[in-house]
Structure 1
């Protein structure tokens, strides 16, 4: 008796023949370069396949589609990470985070981030991918950093500003290009932390 193929929608998605770290890095860099050139709206998996010399089938084995691929590329290329930061003070932790920033990369990515902020308003699937892949994991790490400060007694557990530290920092990243036509570079962010975040937390 002939076997009956399962409906396409029920078939498990073939998952990763793992790319090498070097190939993955090349692909992520190419995706972001293409995103800078054409914007999210005009970015296509066909265009990504052509730019990266990679088949669409391979791309779809690695990522569910354009939103996840863009989110993963941004995560891979993010300018700073909380991993391993624990200086013993919250101010020191925040300064250590900022110290990782490459000002040239921040300047290069300012227009990219502005375009993505616009894109998430019309592409909810992109917003969800960014939350799943980039935003929520970063917030988890950032909340752990703040929790350590509370445990050390640096911040009162009921300090109202604690809930808004991430909002303040994201606001700084977005506002400086808008108000001053300059990127939020490391010097600006250090000064912002000392002038705004540290006093708000009562440090």
Structure 2
């Protein structure tokens, strides 16, 4: 863990800030991340950009990796586990409808830029897994389990465990293969052509 990531000693209770102020802070973090990259992003820079104190930032987020992970998390349009239309096709349709092409492009670029930092920083890797990746995977599993319970997907379908891999793989592979970011059109086509057939839907 680098000095920039090391949290200061803080009270266990975090200060309360308004949702609007939290969103403003997260947006500033993502702007800085795009401007300078993860390694050069410091809590001092975030404090200056947001007119906050470092003590406030550490009380609220604990560390630089946690701050970055939560800032990325706030860009997610909807929790997958909360989507329940009564059918798995309807659930995926709502997921796509809530996606934003511009935001997906920004997120893809940020994640690509963080790839090296993740390998260099176990703390960042842990924060991204706990605060960004795992909640999305858990929400997806809840959505798929409801489809199993409704009889839409066979409980022994071998593809059930690999749907997260398919979706994450699409976001990684498309920029590499076609030099473009995933958008709603591609995501819909990919789910229809790959995910649904794999699930037997």
Which residue number in structure 2 is paired with residue 193 of structure 1?
191
Which residue number in structure 1 is paired with residue 145 of structure 2?
147
SS in 1 for 2:93: helix
The structural deviation recorded for 1:141 is 1.4
Larger radius of gyration: 1
Question: 2:25 touches 2:50 (CA, 8 Å); kept in 1?
Answer: yes
Question: 2:32 touches 2:41 (CA, 8 Å); kept in 1?
Answer: yes
Question: 1:49 touches 1:56 (CA, 8 Å); kept in 2?
Answer: yes
Which residue number in structure 1 is paired with residue 60 of structure 2?
62
Structure 2 CA distance, aligned partners of 1:155 and 1:109? 31
The structural deviation recorded for 1:29 is 0.3
Which residue number in structure 1 is paired with residue 166 of structure 2?
168
Question: 2:10 touches 2:59 (CA, 8 Å); kept in 1?
Answer: no
Which residue number in structure 1 is paired with residue 126 of structure 2?
128
Task: Out of 91-100 and 101-110, give the one that drifted further.
Answer: 101-110
- What per-residue deviation string (whole Å, max 9, x for no partner) do you get for residues 49-90 of structure 1? 111111101111111110000111111122443253111211
Which residue number in structure 2 is paired with residue 90 of structure 1?
88
SS in 2 for 1:198: helix
Question: 1:79 touches 1:106 (CA, 8 Å); kept in 2?
Answer: no
Task: Out of 115-124 and 155-164, give the one that drifted further.
Answer: 115-124
TM-score normalised to the size of structure 2?
Answer: 0.91
The runs of at least 4 aligned residues of structure 1 exceeding 3 Å deviation read none
- Work out which of the residue numbers 136, 143, 155 in structure 2 matches 1:157: 155
CA-atom RMSD, angstroms?
Answer: 1.4
Question: 2:70 touches 2:132 (CA, 8 Å); kept in 1?
Answer: yes
Question: 1:79 touches 1:105 (CA, 8 Å); kept in 2?
Answer: no
Structure 2 CA distance, aligned partners of 1:144 and 1:71? 22
TM-score normalised to the size of structure 1?
Answer: 0.90
What are the residue-to-residue correspondences of 1:28-43 with 2, within 5 Å?
28-43=26-41
SS in 1 for 2:166: helix
Unmatched runs of 5 consecutive residues or more in structure 1: 1-10
The alignment of Structure 1 onto Structure 2 pairs a total of residues equal to: 193
- What per-residue deviation string (whole Å, max 9, x for no partner) do you get for residues 106-132 of structure 1? 223322110123321111101111122
